[in-house]
Structure 1
């Protein structure tokens, strides 16, 4: 056994022993833990902002505060406010066959939960699963991304000062991640690519560990003929340039009516020149996380151009800086399916634009490909919106907005098909990390047992009449 594997086992066993010693932390204790973590998180906001910027090479404070820190604090506040209600036993109807007993569903902690966090939102996507699992009464092992060492160091301090006995943080490369996912967790949540998600699910299956997979895929945008093209351009730029497009629900490609394509490109370029006129030197543009991912995006652009795509650069100044791995907005037209940019999740400020004559062309294309994590519709025709909603499947669905559906605390977040399985956020998250225990309560007076033991004919006739009547 490797040193890393042995250490992981020891950390897991220590948390398991902690859970065995207190398998059901009371609700006040859980809330107290969440408040401590929230307090430490708020106190460390400047340190986290600086650390994230170092990890990315440069990251705007907007992307860290609005995209990472605030959603995490909001999620903790929501858990604190709703936990007393969510954790109550749920009364269910027992039915005549179980009279005079009562039936309940009790929500129990599962045990030691594993969380594998990605690099793109190293605060939110690490801590929201953790705090949700803690709210459900579990202990947590969190595997942090090796791409964000500075942020990880601050998170280590936050955990040490708030919940060190309940949460263990782990850092390491993909090899350690594979060993991590092979541990016999009570539940495992992974956020990352579909390719790696399949490996995670395979590793978890050996221990029959239930998994929640938050993956990605290619999230499409459909622009309807009645859309205001200026508003559409603003929405698209926000969705594509927030965190430099390094978001699992970022728009991956756009379908626009053929007669509106030129207008859309013109508006996108004008808006980009207005808000990002300095290109890669702009202080409101986050860097690509690493030279490796920067090169991957450049390869997509070269591949698209070689296969007949037209690359549109909204600025005359350079839009690429390999040394600082910074990349500005690049639009692609004359798109075809052979291009890598239409086969792989982009995860960067590159936007393919396709046109349609009939709305059904866009819908059929989406349905012929893997279900996306997000589907966006920009326009106001209720008939068309309802049609798209009914005939497509996606993890999330947003109309005339972008990205923000993920920040709604009271609704579940998760994918479908290749974009993931399972949910968290809100009460669905609490239930994901809880065991819903079927509980039957019978008192001193319980004549049913004696009647069943005797196979009493009248009881059989009564139940047969009650349940089999037309």
Structure 2
């Protein structure tokens, strides 16, 4: 798609919004229902398209990690939309009485949504749910790494929506670049921190507000107050879902030094129990493409060359996996300066770092960029306050991982290098709305008392009562 075509699409939506800037509850509800029906009627086609794009994507994972949370989010919005749209009364200070004030949620206008390849459906539908509920018109740019899904989703959207309200854009990197340069009223980008910097710079030229969901390295801290087997069992699912290609996947584990060996053994045992022959199991997904696979293998080769130990969950006769799948692998003895510890892994690789004192583990986390999620495993209740007050992260989760992403009544978003802004539920509705203060007075206006000249008794009384 050419830059001129993108601008034409944007101008079409912009003009349509200006002609009808405040969709009714019925119109917004209809749009959400259309989006929901689009998904429900095409579950098999969506699963097959993503399976083809990945060269082996578990249909069950598509259902559980994309279709299910998409529908849950839409249902949550449909239940609460009427309440979200209501103006909220605000009581004004006594000094300005008599007066009235309200906070009115107003659609921003035209919203841009840039979607990554790892959860192409959910990371399109999640922001769309919030933006459409807020009454906006939306343009969605899908990843060039999921062309079959992109073609399918674009066709389905054309069949269910007027392009003046919602349209899907596909194309290579140059299209993404041009998309980020459009003067949207809000732009949401999900992807890597490196690309997020470019998106934010492009948006800044238009003073476009951005929500950035960037990921980063989400740590796991295992405390001595939990059996290490329990922690290992709960982490396998989080590390293996979508073959680790998840922005909130556990990225490395900080484990008490005397329990590292046990953790490794229990983790590998649990992988085999959940997946059996993991490389030949259709429930275990492939790496999206050769480029990403080679990146991950490069991390492992470098770490091993520097003295790290690789603990594979599958037998590899040739020493390395063959084909599109990489079995889960734990890495011990890794150099903290290795690429594996410097970049978001985004694959089924989990470094395990030994620590002696919990303070050292917390310092290790705090010395690095703030993560999208921090997972703490331990049954000692004192850990809650210690980590809540002593660390920064987009989310803090105890004794499990990943599930917080599907909680529609909690905001989802990062902090620092892991992103800015948030969405989901009412927080998403507010992200894509202008909460406009509307204030006024009736016939009686006491503000006349403060008009000049300024040496009269009302001014002396105001200073005496309020400036103290």
TM bucket (normalised to shorter chain) is: over 0.9
User: What is the CA distance between 1:172 and its match in structure 2?
Assistant: 1.1
Of 22, 30, 33, 1:32 maps to: 30
SS at 1:147 equivalent: coil
- TM-score normalised over the length of structure 2: 0.97
User: In 2 relative to 1, CA 116–278 (structure 1 residues): closer, same or farther, beyond 3 Å?
Assistant: same
Structure 1 partner of 2:75: 77
Q: How far apart, in 2, do the equivalents of 1:101 and 1:434 lie?
A: 25
SS at 2:347 equivalent: coil
Residue 368 (1) aligns with residue 367 (2):
yes
- The answer for unaligned runs of 5 or more in structure 1 is none
Q: How far apart, in 2, do the equivalents of 1:453 and 1:30 lie?
A: 49
Structure 2 partner of 1:129: 127
Structure 1 partner of 2:193: 194
Q: How far apart, in 2, do the equivalents of 1:235 and 1:260 lie?
A: 16
User: What is the CA distance between 1:467 and its match in structure 2?
Assistant: 1.5
SS at 1:189 equivalent: strand
Structure 1 partner of 2:102: 104
Q: How far apart, in 1, do the equivalents of 2:427 and 2:180 lie?
A: 23
User: What is the CA distance between 1:235 and its match in structure 2?
Assistant: 1.1
SS at 1:327 equivalent: coil
Residue 395 (1) aligns with residue 397 (2):
no
The within-5 A match list for 1:332-347 is 332-347=331-346
- Larger CA deviation: 72-81 vs 439-448: 439-448
SS at 1:440 equivalent: strand
User: What is the CA distance between 1:207 and its match in structure 2?
Assistant: 0.4
User: What is the CA distance between 1:63 and its match in structure 2?
Assistant: 1.2
1:315-367 C-alpha deviation (Å, 9 max, x unpaired): 324585444x1110111001112211001100000010011110111111110
Structure 2 partner of 1:412: 411
Structure 2 partner of 1:94: 92
Structure 1 partner of 2:144: 146
1:276-335 C-alpha deviation (Å, 9 max, x unpaired): 221311122100001110111110110100111111113324585444x11101110011
User: In 2 relative to 1, CA 363–455 (structure 1 residues): closer, same or farther, beyond 3 Å?
Assistant: same
Structure 2 partner of 1:436: 435
SS at 2:296 equivalent: helix
SS at 1:418 equivalent: helix
User: What is the CA distance between 1:452 and its match in structure 2?
Assistant: 2.8
SS at 1:24 equivalent: coil
Q: Indicate if the aligned counterparts of 2:394 and 2:418 stay in contact, CA closer than 8 A.
A: yes
Structure 2 partner of 1:210: 209
Of 31, 37, 40, 1:42 maps to: 40
Q: How far apart, in 2, do the equivalents of 1:356 and 1:327 lie?
A: 28
Q: Indicate if the aligned counterparts of 2:113 and 2:189 stay in contact, CA closer than 8 A.
A: yes
Q: How far apart, in 2, do the equivalents of 1:456 and 1:238 lie?
A: 73
What is the root-mean-square deviation in Å for CA atoms of aligned residues?
1.5
Q: Indicate if the aligned counterparts of 2:113 and 2:124 stay in contact, CA closer than 8 A.
A: yes
The within-5 A match list for 1:226-245 is 226-245=225-244
- TM-score normalised over the length of structure 1: 0.96
Q: How far apart, in 2, do the equivalents of 1:181 and 1:88 lie?
A: 32
Q: How far apart, in 2, do the equivalents of 1:48 and 1:322 lie?
A: 27
User: In 2 relative to 1, CA 453–103 (structure 1 residues): closer, same or farther, beyond 3 Å?
Assistant: farther
Q: How far apart, in 2, do the equivalents of 1:228 and 1:199 lie?
A: 44
Q: Indicate if the aligned counterparts of 1:105 and 1:438 stay in contact, CA closer than 8 A.
A: yes
- Larger CA deviation: 19-28 vs 442-451: 442-451
